[in-house]
Each structure stands twice: as structure tokens, then as C-alpha cells.
């Protein structure tokens, strides 16, 4: 090796690592519980409110209200069911505190997706009447033949009032709750555009990846002893190492394992120099340290790291999302959360961040 070649290589690697900046801070939306309702908004101020089924319910019904931000953002309200042996098509009768609703008591028509899940989007006039009635009513009952589902309205008004405030609609004609006679909602924030890059460079062999993972695990525990557990044989499926470019590697090491969650740390490594490895932070994922994700998976073809952090084993609450490699760091692509464990499926978790991807 020519004299000085090693020093130049080390300096080049260091320079590369120093250019890896954390992506611009993404605005992860808030989520908040109001008695038997939960509401949240994303970075574009699109907001969602959900009623919470009782903790003891095995078959559930819940209301979902969605509203985009901006002057033209119209609310939609849907009744969702998760039960057993739902017919493909059925009639559903609604009542508010025992009184047929709407006033004429006209049943709505529902369609089951697979005999267990159904969604009924309420007509605009019915939705508006239900929002107005929520000020005084306590329970919405949905009757399907002999089956009866109950939806609590406790907290609905507070949740919708909070959405009005987040979207700047208070005291305007377009408000859900506190209506006024003048004014309009401000425009919605722009949807961020994320340019994700697939992994490039020569793929690491299985042996090369294993060696790099082992070295990274040792380095992590050298920096902070016992900060990353050694995984038993057969439990290293979450470990991995990938070439992000000609001189940059992404290394994932599983650091703790529970009954239904595996926590992994992600590191950016120049070549094989783990001594200069830097954390790959994931904003808003809730991990500690910030480069830790739960039940995470990296797809080198897209450059995406996805995660699904369960708050309990059946996976009806927690946080999920994805990040995209942009050449410098991992930017948030999407994020959803369900802060209450009430059998609400992942497709209905509240979106706290969304983006357009190139």
C-alpha cells in the first residue's frame, strides 16, 4: 500500500460520515384522548376522530370522522363494525339513547367485506345531524337483526372541538361544533415530498454482513456496556447489514426481545470502521435511543425501513410507519398511532404524518 493511502481512506470515510445529516425535522402530528374518543391530526392538519369501544367488547362498533384541512375540507363520518357472521348485505337500524335515528328511523344498508368487517359511510345529512345530536346524546346503538352494537358519544364534542381548533375553524361557518357566521379555515399545509433512494453499491455477502453485525454489536457495548443484549441462537433474524453506497453501510442489530416486540438499533458505518459508526436516528418513532425501532425491516430495493411497535400482543394499539433513505439520512414517510387498546385494526389507526414520495 502506498504511504499515506490508509490515512486518505480514513479521512475520506470520515468526510462521508460528517455529511450525513439528520433530515429536516418533520412535524409529527398530535394525538389526544377525550373520554371515550381519541383524535389526532397529521402534518397537513388532516384530522381523524374515533370512538373507543368498551374494553370488554369482543365484537365492536365505532365511529370514524375524517376531515382534511383547508376551506374545502369536508367531513366524512362512517360507522365501522367488527363482528362475526355478518351477512354480505344487511340493514342496520340506528338509535340515539333509545330513540330511532334519524327521525324517521329509516334503516341504513350495510355490506360486509368478509363476514366480519363492515363499513357504512353515513350520508352527509345524517352525519351532520349526528354531530349536532352528540351535544346531548350519550349512546348510539346500531341494531342488525338480533345483534346490537353500542357506540359511546362521551367525549365526541370535545374531540371535534379540538379538531376545529387545530384546523383554524373555530367560530367560522365550517366549524363542526362552535360555529360562527363569518370567516373561513386557513389553507392546508403543503404535503412534503420525500425522495427515497434504494440501496446501491455491491451487496454484502452473508459472511460479510454477519462479521459487520458482530463488530457493531461489540462496538455498541464498548460505548455503553450492556446496552444491547446478546440474542440467543436462532433469534438473530432481525440483524442485518446492507450496502447503502460504495462506502456506506447500514447495520441493524437486535438489542432486546420481548413476547411480541423486537427492538433493533440502526447504525451508519463507513466501510468496516465501526469505531466511527453513527446512529441512524428515526424521528418520532418513540424509540430510546433515537436510532431504535420496534419490529423493523429494511428493504434495500426501496430504501425503506418500516416498523410496527405493538403496545400489546394482538397488535390493536401502538405505532407504525416507515422511513425512506434520502442519501443523507432516513426521512419520515408515514406514521400512524393508536394510543388506546380497543380492538381497532391497524388500517384505522390515526395518521400523524404523511408524505408524497418520489
Count of domains in the chain? 2
Q: Is residue 222 part of a domain?
A: yes
pLDDT classification of 236: cutoffs 50, 70, 90: low
CATH number of the CATH domain containing 88: 2.60.40.1880
11 and 38 co-located in one domain: no
122 and 154 co-located in one domain: yes
159 and 225 co-located in one domain: no
Q: Is residue 172 part of a domain?
A: no
Range of the domain at 62: 31-166
Q: Is residue 183 part of a domain?
A: no
297 and 158 co-located in one domain: no
End-to-end Cα, the chain, rounded Å: 42
Could you tell me if 301 and 198 are in contact, meaning their C-beta atoms sit under 8 angstroms apart? Answer: yes
Q: Does the structure show a pLDDT above 80 at 10?
A: no
pLDDT digit string, tens, across residues 180-234:
999 999 999 999 999 999 999 899 999 999 999 999 999 999 999 988 888 766 6
pLDDT digit string, tens, across residues 148-190:
999 999 999 999 999 999 999 999 999 999 999 999 999 999 9
Q: Is residue 274 part of a domain?
A: yes
**Predicted TM-score of the model (pTM):** 0.89
Could you tell me if 77 and 67 are in contact, meaning their C-beta atoms sit under 8 angstroms apart? Answer: no
21 and 52 co-located in one domain: no
200 and 231 co-located in one domain: yes
Could you tell me if 60 and 82 are in contact, meaning their C-beta atoms sit under 8 angstroms apart? Answer: yes
Could you tell me if 320 and 346 are in contact, meaning their C-beta atoms sit under 8 angstroms apart? Answer: yes
Residue written as grid cell 338509535: 95
Q: Is residue 187 part of a domain?
A: no
Q: Is residue 242 part of a domain?
A: yes
pLDDT of 279: 96
Over the chain, what is the mean pLDDT? 90
75 and 201 co-located in one domain: no
Count of Cβ atoms closer than 10 Å to residue 175 Cβ: 20
Which helix H or strand E contains 161, and what residues bound it? helix 156-166
Amino acid at each position: 500500500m502506498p504511504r499515506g493511502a490508509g490515512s486518505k481512506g480514513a479521512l475520506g470515510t470520515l468526510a462521508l460520515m460528517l455529511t450525513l445529516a439528520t433530515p429536516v425535522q418533520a412535524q409529527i402530528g398530535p394525538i389526544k384522548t377525550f373520554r371515550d374518543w381519541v383524535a389526532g391530526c397529521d402534518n397537513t392538519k388532516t384530522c381523524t376522530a374515533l370512538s373507543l369501544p368498551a374494553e370488554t367488547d369482543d365484537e365492536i362498533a365505532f365511529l370514524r370522522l375524517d376531515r382534511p384541512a383547508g376551506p374545502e375540507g369536508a367531513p366524512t363520518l362512517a360507522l365501522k363494525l367488527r363482528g362475526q357472521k355478518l351477512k354480505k348485505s344487511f340493514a342496520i337500524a340506528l338509535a340515539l339513547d333509545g330513540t330511532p335515528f334519524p327521525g324517521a328511523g329509516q334503516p341504513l344498508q350495510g355490506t360486509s367485506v368478509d363476514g366480519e368487517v363492515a363499513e357504512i359511510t353515513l350520508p352527509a345529512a345524517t352525519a351532520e345531524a349526528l354531530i349536532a345530536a352528540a351535544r346531548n346524546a350519550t349512546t348510539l346503538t346500531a341494531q342488525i337483526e338480533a345483534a346490537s352494537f353500542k357506540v359511546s358519544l362521551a367525549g365526541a364534542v370535545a374531540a371535534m372541538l379540538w379538531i376545529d381548533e387545530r384546523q383554524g375553524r373555530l367560530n367560522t361557518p365550517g366549524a363542526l361544533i362552535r360555529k360562527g357566521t363569518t370567516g373561513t379555515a386557513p389553507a392546508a399545509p403543503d404535503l412534503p415530498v420525500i425522495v427515497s433512494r434504494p440501496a446501491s453499491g455491491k451487496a454484502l455477502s452473508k459472511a460479510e454482513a454477519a462479521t459487520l453485525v458482530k463488530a457493531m454489536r461489540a462496538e455498541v457495548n464498548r460505548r455503553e456496556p450492556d446496552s444491547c443484549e446478546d440474542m440467543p441462537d436462532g433469534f438473530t433474524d432481525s440483524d442485518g447489514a446492507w450496502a447503502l453506497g460504495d462506502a456506506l453501510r447500514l447495520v441493524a442489530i437486535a438489542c432486546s426481545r420481548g413476547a411480541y416486540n423486537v427492538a433493533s438499533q440502526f447504525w451508519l458505518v463507513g466501510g468496516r470502521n465501526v469505531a466511527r459508526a453513527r446512529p441512524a436516528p428515526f424521528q418520532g418513532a418513540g424509540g430510546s435511543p433515537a436510532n431504535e425501532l420496534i419490529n423493523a425491516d429494511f428493504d434495500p430495493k426501496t430504501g425503506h425501513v418500516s416498523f410496527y411497535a405493538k403496545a400489546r400482543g394482538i397488535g390493536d394499539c401502538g405505532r407504525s410507519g416507515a422511513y425512506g433513505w434520502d442519501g443523507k439520512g432516513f426521512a419520515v414517510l408515514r406514521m400512524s398511532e393508536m394510543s388506546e387498546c380497543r380492538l381497532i385494526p391497524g388500517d384505522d389507526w390515526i395518521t400523524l404524518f404523511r408524505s408524497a414520495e418520489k
